[in-house]
Structure 1
Amino acid sequence: MSDIFKPEVDRRTLLRRAAAVGLLATPAMGMLTACVGGGGDSDDDAAEKPAGTVSATNPLGIKEDEPLEIVIFNGGLGTKYATDVDIPSYNKLFPNSKVTFSQTEEIATVVQPRFTGNNPPDMINNSGSKLMDQGALVQAEQVQDLTELFAAPSLDITGKTVKDTLIPGTVEQGTFNGKPYVLNYAFTVFGLWYSGKLFKENGWTAPATWADFLKLLDAMKAKGITPYGYAGANAPYYQYTVLLASAAKIGGPDILKNIDNLEPGAWTNDAVKQAAAAWAEVGAKYSDKAFLGLKHTEVQLKQDQYQVGFYPSGSWLENEQAKDTPAGFDYQIMPLPSVTAADKLPVTALYAAAGEQYFVASKGKNPRGGMEFLRHMLSKAGAVGFTQLTKTLTVVAGATDGMEISPGLTSGNKALVAAGADTFAFRFDTWYKKLDDELRAATNELMYQGGTADKFVERMQKAADAVKADSSIEKFSR
């Protein structure tokens, strides 16, 4: 049991925690104490003690014939990496363990009732527009501490622990108040994506300044192309990521740290306001308000048809659109243009971080097996297979050095090298789902519904202050 939770938690706090992640059934059923009870029960003991023999090939001491259940989000990365790479790797080492695999596009809809019923899967890929509240799950003691996983030897990188093989900052990205609970596996480069073919045909180059960016948007508009767009129905996260990335470039990475830490006035900082004003103009003049009702794949398809110029996204985009991308489209990524001449970070700075959440259910039937499955994902072979199938990097450092699988992956790698140490990320979206939900709505208002920068920052500051004042929400910091 994690020591960040007080053993003398009162009933009201437990009820709040349980309600936060849907662990309460009907009022007549009351609280599912088995789901959120204190330390010392048999489930916790099973998670803490090896069920099998600890050895060089079984460092986590899993019971070698214990069944394992995993659920993977079926989105931009697909699921073939799990079925074609990681499950075979796991079963090669543990052939008597039956691995039950399922996939879904709606993680919360499918998986959250399993937590309510005290029968969660062992390992879950918590992602997509309908993901579960990860911070609340940690708070409700539903998530396995991954310390043993990261301390275990790598599956196929000799002489190193799992943690030793990872890009610096990976473990910290999934840490909640000092304990690692989540593996963020895909290393994502986030920026503005465009067609290299379209740019070449029109003699366009990626702009470095905001003035040049707006000139290019005007040129696209003159060609009958919608210069910029994102999907308001299920992907406002894409747009708020670039908005906050612009704020970080204007005011420095502490802008995002202060937002994460719920610092007073973090959202009303001038850098956030300047970024919001700049992007509001893009939404008003260079996008299509009809995109408010579209899903991400619908807007992405329009870009593949050369109807949209720039699209904000992470490096999963190329793989997600593989079936619809015409030959020669040539996906390319560019960092966000400098909004002002006095930005604290250079134009090459990027939002780049470990992402795509995977966690082990502490109350699952086989939590040690869930951690072992993650160890296979974090092997060099697992990382290579993932990148080959998804065109996306993993957090296993250097695993795919020298690989040039696709234009988008190559472009992302070049942007990452150019950024050097000037990369940044935020974490509030996984810590506080209420803030994520509010920011999605506020971003749509700003970009597509006539919102203003002042209204945007005030709305978000009010939401952040409410989260900070809510004693039922566990607070995290970095």
Structure 2
Amino acid sequence: MSSFSADWSRRKFLRGALATGALALPGTGALAGCATSGGGQESTRGEKSDKNPLGVPTDGSLEIYIFNGGFGDEYATAVHEPMFKKAYPNVEIKHKAEVDIKGALQSRFVAGNPPDFVNDSGDGQIPLGQLVTDKQLFDLTELFDAPAWDTPGKKVRDTLVPGAVEQGTFGPKPYVMNMALTVYGTWYNKVLFDQKGWQPPTTWDEMKALCAEIKGAGIAPWTYQGIHARYMVWPLLTMAAKLAGPEILVDIDNLKEGAWKHDAIKESATALAGLKSSGWILDGTEGMDHIQSQGQWVAGKAAFIPCGSWLENEEKDVTPKSGFEFAMMPDPLLSKDSKMPLETVYAAAGEPYVVPAKAKNPAGGLEYMRIMLSKEGAKGFTEKVSSLTVVQGAADGVKLPAGLTSAKKALDAAGDNVVSWMWQSWYGTMWNPGINAVIGDLLAGRKTVDEFCDGCEAEAKKVRDDDSITKYTREK
């Protein structure tokens, strides 16, 4: 079993994001087949120059796969691909938008014939940790050390908020470019709350009292993403960390035995399980997918839903034209004696992009990333998907919608009190289908809190005991 240390500061990353205004929004089975060699294969390169520092071939093709989820793919077709085409007019861009990345590309990775650039995101994500272990990803060091696209005198890495490169690092090398910083919390319709005189609860006792009032008004207090029940892991872990401190999240990342049985995890799970036993979850939620449950929420059938700050953009086509305003609140405190303040939020750089190790045109894939991480490319991303990015100052002058403004306000209020974790990226199958199924059973009333904790422990043990999985660690 090999192990790498990921000792870096997420708080430093988030402080940098706040200082530069570079807040952003947005995201798993093992890769089948034998591990292949990778991380350094070179296909045809063009001649390097000041205008072409990565040696992109000036003809041929560039094959791009974009996850067609909450962000859609217009940011690619309307912003980044035209920028690439302007610089390399003789390169044919082969664009594909795909909902199920794993279904579309897993066999191609195994066969050694992957695309040149992949937005590996969504429910059908190919686990990033497994791709790294199988040497299927290109080392992005060359990208981050290249001259910035439109910031003279700086390398790409120097134009990003602190920690952005490290967020995609596995062991000693960066393999993933994360474009967005997602802020997570509990969402509600501010217009509805103002009309009813409801105040966002600050403690779980206040949440229970408000849920009873909401139900009395004929509205379901809560819904969640149903078959993707893992969305509820975000408030569960965030509330637990507020109660006991962020160290419990480090223990979970490091696969420490018993981490999922911590008293704070149990108390948080008990709170969420109470939503079901109290009849405060929208009928039918368990069988819905994220599109259906979020659609019910914007339609006013439920008052609260957990999600990342991509929610507003994902629901833009079904959001009522009037009477609705996206608002995000930090998850409530389980106790007034909590170690972290109410304002604490979970936030993390996300929406991953990779260049496969066996890409036919890896230089083109790296150059496409360099374009995305330009000020022009990042600003276009923000404008198209209502998301800010890890590029410093790229959102200056961009008018932000209500939901993103609310998320940024929450992060501003959090200051250094921001929590994050890495196990979702490091051990994709532990996240889904693993703990997705366990928390689904808890929320449906099929598992007790102790059984939930035992189930999560079992999923962590599977990873811990599997010598074929590369292990990563981080420090407090």
TM-score scaled to structure 2, two decimals?
0.90
Give the residue type in structure 2 aligned to 1:126.
D
Query: Quick one: which of 66, 70, 75 aligns to 1:72?
Result: 66
Superposed displacement of residue 403, structure 1: 3.1
Map of 1:21 onto structure 2: 31
Residue aligned with 1:393, SS: coil
What do the CA deviations read for 1:281-323 (whole angstroms, capped 9, x no partner)? 1233211352111011111111111111001001111111111
Once residues 311 and 176 of structure 1 are traced to their aligned partners in structure 2, the CA distance between those partners, rounded to angstroms, is: 32
Map of 1:253 onto structure 2: 246
Once residues 472 and 60 of structure 1 are traced to their aligned partners in structure 2, the CA distance between those partners, rounded to angstroms, is: 34
Map of 1:214 onto structure 2: 208
Once residues 416 and 71 of structure 2 are traced to their aligned partners in structure 1, the CA distance between those partners, rounded to angstroms, is: 26
Contact 2:138 2:175 (8 Å CA) reproduced: yes
Contact 2:230 2:440 (8 Å CA) reproduced: no
Once residues 208 and 158 of structure 1 are traced to their aligned partners in structure 2, the CA distance between those partners, rounded to angstroms, is: 46
Map of 1:7 onto structure 2: none
Once the two structures are superposed, the pairs formed by residues 67-466 of structure 1 within 5 Å of their partners are: 67-233=61-227, 235-285=228-278, 286-288=280-282, 290-328=284-322, 329-436=324-431, 437-466=433-462
Residue aligned with 1:46, SS: coil
Once residues 45 and 327 of structure 1 are traced to their aligned partners in structure 2, the CA distance between those partners, rounded to angstroms, is: 51
Once residues 202 and 397 of structure 1 are traced to their aligned partners in structure 2, the CA distance between those partners, rounded to angstroms, is: 40
Give the residue type in structure 2 aligned to 1:448.
A
Contact 2:63 2:117 (8 Å CA) reproduced: yes
Contact 1:289 1:448 (8 Å CA) reproduced: no
Contact 2:38 2:358 (8 Å CA) reproduced: no
What do the CA deviations read for 1:383-421 (whole angstroms, capped 9, x no partner)? 111111111121112321453331111111111111111
Query: Quick one: which of 448, 463, 468 aligns to 1:467?
Result: 463
Superposed displacement of residue 377, structure 1: 0.7
Contact 2:223 2:297 (8 Å CA) reproduced: no
Give the residue type in structure 2 aligned to 1:468.
R
Once residues 54 and 345 of structure 1 are traced to their aligned partners in structure 2, the CA distance between those partners, rounded to angstroms, is: 51
Q: Judge which range, 443-452 or 183-192, deviates more.
A: 443-452
Contact 2:273 2:445 (8 Å CA) reproduced: no
Residue aligned with 2:259, SS: coil
Contact 1:125 1:357 (8 Å CA) reproduced: yes
Identical columns (%): 43
Once residues 326 and 382 of structure 1 are traced to their aligned partners in structure 2, the CA distance between those partners, rounded to angstroms, is: 30
Contact 1:280 1:451 (8 Å CA) reproduced: no
Residue aligned with 2:178, SS: strand
What do the CA deviations read for 1:88-110 (whole angstroms, capped 9, x no partner)? 11111111111110011111111
Gaps of 5+ in 2: 5-28
Superposed displacement of residue 342, structure 1: 1.8
- Please list every run of at least 4 consecutive aligned residues from structure 1 whose deviation after the TM superposition is greater than 4 angstroms: none
Superposed displacement of residue 116, structure 1: 2.5
What do the CA deviations read for 1:81-138 (whole angstroms, capped 9, x no partner)? 0000000111111111111100111111111121122210111111111111211111
Once residues 283 and 101 of structure 2 are traced to their aligned partners in structure 1, the CA distance between those partners, rounded to angstroms, is: 28
TM-score scaled to structure 1, two decimals?
0.90
Q: CA, structure 1 residues 149+283, in 2 after alignment: closer, same or farther (shift >3 Å)? A: farther
Once residues 230 and 376 of structure 2 are traced to their aligned partners in structure 1, the CA distance between those partners, rounded to angstroms, is: 31
Contact 1:404 1:410 (8 Å CA) reproduced: no
Superposed displacement of residue 53, structure 1: 2.1
Once residues 133 and 353 of structure 1 are traced to their aligned partners in structure 2, the CA distance between those partners, rounded to angstroms, is: 17
Q: CA, structure 1 residues 142+263, in 2 after alignment: closer, same or farther (shift >3 Å)? A: same
Once residues 81 and 241 of structure 2 are traced to their aligned partners in structure 1, the CA distance between those partners, rounded to angstroms, is: 39
What do the CA deviations read for 1:29-74 (whole angstroms, capped 9, x no partner)? xx5xxx60378xxxx4416xx8122222212122222411110010
Give the residue type in structure 2 aligned to 1:67.
S
Once residues 291 and 356 of structure 2 are traced to their aligned partners in structure 1, the CA distance between those partners, rounded to angstroms, is: 30
Once residues 272 and 45 of structure 1 are traced to their aligned partners in structure 2, the CA distance between those partners, rounded to angstroms, is: 44
Residue aligned with 2:126, SS: coil
Gaps of 5+ in 1: 5-18, 24-30
What do the CA deviations read for 1:214-263 (whole angstroms, capped 9, x no partner)? 11111111111111111222x22311111111122112222212111112
Once residues 257 and 476 of structure 1 are traced to their aligned partners in structure 2, the CA distance between those partners, rounded to angstroms, is: 11
Residue aligned with 2:403, SS: helix
Give the residue type in structure 1 aligned to 2:353.
Y
Residue aligned with 1:169, SS: coil
Contact 1:122 1:361 (8 Å CA) reproduced: yes
Q: Judge which range, 224-233 or 402-411, deviates more.
A: 402-411
Superposed displacement of residue 274, structure 1: 1.4
Once residues 152 and 335 of structure 2 are traced to their aligned partners in structure 1, the CA distance between those partners, rounded to angstroms, is: 48
Contact 1:62 1:368 (8 Å CA) reproduced: yes
Once residues 238 and 341 of structure 2 are traced to their aligned partners in structure 1, the CA distance between those partners, rounded to angstroms, is: 12
Residue aligned with 2:250, SS: helix
Give the residue type in structure 1 aligned to 2:36.
V
Give the residue type in structure 1 aligned to 2:319.
T
Superposed displacement of residue 458, structure 1: 1.5
Q: Judge which range, 142-151 or 448-457, deviates more.
A: 448-457
Once residues 154 and 231 of structure 2 are traced to their aligned partners in structure 1, the CA distance between those partners, rounded to angstroms, is: 36
Give the residue type in structure 1 aligned to 2:196.
N
Superposed displacement of residue 355, structure 1: 0.8
Once residues 105 and 97 of structure 2 are traced to their aligned partners in structure 1, the CA distance between those partners, rounded to angstroms, is: 10
Once residues 397 and 280 of structure 1 are traced to their aligned partners in structure 2, the CA distance between those partners, rounded to angstroms, is: 41
Once residues 412 and 429 of structure 2 are traced to their aligned partners in structure 1, the CA distance between those partners, rounded to angstroms, is: 34
Once residues 46 and 308 of structure 1 are traced to their aligned partners in structure 2, the CA distance between those partners, rounded to angstroms, is: 52
Residue aligned with 1:394, SS: coil
Superposed displacement of residue 170, structure 1: 1.6
Contact 2:236 2:268 (8 Å CA) reproduced: yes
